[in-house]
Structure 1
Amino acid sequence: WFFRTYGHYISSDVFRRFKGIDGNFKETLKGDAKGILSLYEAAHLRTTTDYILDEALIFTSNHLKSLAEGGTCPPYLSMRIRNALTLSQRWNMEMIAAAEF
């Protein structure tokens, strides 16, 4: 995420490690709300040929919605998830994102 934010192209193949042998994203990711949120933000920096990031965006948005609605996360994390789903931090003003911390 960091490199692409500042214009450095990094291959999306690094995200293949999050997928299992069956080609789907690993079940262990579902328990890591912060990790899913980071993957969601990274997926917003995809290009037209980053098919794995297209899949990641679908996977993460579905799980983030269920985490935000399920009440299983601490309140501060639920707020960050809801804010990210409304408007990705890539498009959000840095001051608003910084205020969450």
Structure 2
Amino acid sequence: MSYTFTLAPEALETELKKLILETSGKADEIDLADFADDAVLFGDGSPVGLDSLDALQIAVALQQYFQVRLQGDRMVRKHMTTVRDLAAFVRSEHGA
């Protein structure tokens, strides 16, 4: 799958949600419209329920499609909490 690289408000969040759902194999389980930008991505209260393997795969996909690197567990925990947090990180890495 390819993703549209954009930093535009809402558009980036939508592309990141698509990337997260496709990369984690949950695209058939979760409707994009039901995936809120501020939904927690990990843990029991998460509608997506990502795990550490998902985080690794998403980090690789982020580097490939959005040219950003999340290095180490601290960066993942800090920037991959919600889609909104992840979008803010991508924008900051690209100077927006």
Same fold (TM over 0.5): no
* Larger relative helix fraction: 1
TM-score, scaled to structure 2: 0.31
Rg larger in 1 or in 2? 1
Choose between structure 1 and 2 for higher RCO, CA contacts under 8 A separated by at least 6 residues.
Answer: 2
